[in-house]
Amino acid sequence: MKRLTIDGSWFVDDRGRRVLLRGVNLGGSSKVPTVPDGRTHLPTDFSDHRDVSFVGRPFALDRAAEHYERLRAWGFNALRFLVTWEAIEHAGPGRHDDAYLDSIADAVALAGDYGLSVLVDPHQDVWSRMSGGDGAPGWTLEAVGFDVSRLDAAEAAVTEQGRFADAYRDMIWLANSNRLACATMFSLFFGGDRVAPGCAVEGEPVQGFLQRHFVAAVRALAERLAGFGHVLGYGTLNEPSPGYLGIDDLGRPLPASGPGPVLTGLDSLAVGAGHPRSVRVARAGSVPISDAGPTLLNPDRVSAWVDPDRDVWLREGVWGLDDGGAPELLRPGHFAGVAFVADCLEPFARRCAAALREVDPAAALFYEGSPGSAEPLRWSRPDVPVVNASHWYDVLTLMEKSYRPDAAVDWNTMEPVEGEDAVRASFVAQIGGLVALSEGLGGAPTLVGEFGVPMDLDGGASFRSGDFSAQEAALAAYYSALDANLVHGTLWNYTADNTNAAGDGWNREDLSIFSLDQPGGRAVRGFCRPTLRAAAGTPTAQRFDARTRVYTLDVDVDPAIDAPTTVYVPWAQYFEGTELRVSSGRGQHVRDAQLVRWTGAAAGPQRLTLGPAV
């Protein structure tokens, strides 16, 4: 399988056709180890974090063909393939897990046999498993002075593993971005030279130490994948966070990050260091977020630091204790004046690109910023092909786990949207906002790296009834917004070991379109829909009406391209056959291949229309 290239906002195949990527994230449980079982509903103090294995993620190799064949039949032509830094380098700095790297290389190699292009996603959420998410190895936290076994008890992190199901709320993991562990690690990773010049690991400035090991880990994987033509490139870092960087005043509440306690910068620094603080709580399941009253954090005075002398921010003089022993800010503007993208993220992305392209000179960089950030992406290396891989979610449905076609919240403004027509228009506009970000990247392709819908809506009602129509309606709305903007996308997610009881195996999330309890798929008609594969020209519009099942494709045909325009036509939508019309040339529905081939079209604007057989 030959690698696609980039031309403007499109991927282009070796026959000159513009290709639309519609893929899936593989997979949700790749965030956690297989040995010992790292699913987050199982308790652990993380004391074994160096002695783990991720071999068998995203699935055992002897089951790969089964999963890839299913994904191909469902119409996907791309994978956003999750790996984590921890999976590669959990044992310690510079100690790479060769068995894991080999297993990923084998799984990626096989994907090409099924026509699946691969973009490798070095995944993380709120830094690491130990800080309430996934991504970085535990030793990164230990290297700067944290005791990973005490992060949850100190309220420096909120983990499902430490609180178990009855004391852990849906989506509260997002709030970790403002907790001491996550905010500290990202501040050091992206801005340690600026905000913690006195912090070093083994004599090396902490920012350089952390970035060097991360880049080397991803490069080690790239070395194994360099010969695979279907590997498009590599992500920079999933949903990067600025930590405290750019905060003007640590005495004020930190930016909202979901339900749970609302912390000022001083609260975040002091609570995790063992000082109880009374803070207000943002109500869970409320968007926009409302106030649920006060709570006292860390009444037992547990410190996340191995020793008070290891507290990075105490040593840097950011905060201290007054004469009465109460926490006080000494430098409230310590992190101010940092432009995260320009000062931190882009230089890091350039470092990643340089290392990866030494191994694979044609690899593209899939680049994303902090979700919801007002700062636009920027890229100053026109010689490096780049893709805007920003994310988008229907935030109201995601947070409240209930879908209403007539209600939404704008991802960027957090303003409510009411009425079905207004909601559909808002989704189109929100995706259009991501396309606008691509202008800062030289008009690069836009690939929505994540979007999706919870399968456990309304308390898991679909699991009891077998009716996933609400999820199908939601997905139809999301895909229609992608179609309206003609953008690429990878759905979140496909988890091979998902179950109704354990979900995706991570922080009570359950967005997988596959489950061992629904092996035929979940909400299939929502994502399995007709879509362009490759166009002999420039696509100008694509539409699918989920109610009438009428699909239209407009292409500005280039007669110099000697190859058919192809459209995926799923059995799931057209079980009774199709009625096909083209404005010129010949259209042929190859039913067994779930494909329409359109050949001989005249130059210029042309249209293909497809509907169910009458």
* CA separation for the pair 123, 449 (Å, rounded): 11
SS (H, E, C) 251-270: CCECCCCCCEECCEHHHHHH
Q: Supply 152's token pair.
A: 């949850």
Task: Quote the tokens at residue 533.
Answer: 């594969």
450 is catalytic: yes
**What is the Cα–Cα distance from 261 to 505, expressed in whole angstroms?**
25
C-alpha 235/C-alpha 117 separation (Å) is: 14
Among 89, 160, 368, 450, the active-site one is 450
Judge whether 291 and 283 are in contact, CB under 8 Å: yes
**Nearest CA among 352, 338, 335 for reference residue 389:** 352
Question: Do the strands 416-418 and 407-409 form a parallel or antiparallel pair, or are they unpaired?
Answer: antiparallel
The Cβ of residue 52 has, within 10 Å, a number of other Cβ atoms equal to 23
Residue among 162, 161, 165, 210 at smallest CA distance from 187: 210
- Tell me, yes or no, if 86 is annotated catalytic: no
End-to-end Cα distance, the chain: 38
Give the C-alpha separation, 392 to 448, whole Å: 7
Task: Report which DSSP code applies to 345.
Answer: I
Cis (ω within 30 of 0) for the bond into 145? no
Cβ contact 444:366 at 8 Å: no
User: Is 219 within 8 Å of 355 (Cβ atoms)?
Assistant: yes
Cα 330–Cα 334–Cα 338 angle in degrees, nearest 5: 170
Distance, in Å, from the CA atom of 357 to the CA atom of 96, rounded to the nearest integer, reads 20
Give the pairing type, strands 78-84 and 22-26: parallel
- Catalytic residue, from 86, 239, 400, 472: name it: 239
Catalytic residues: 239, 450
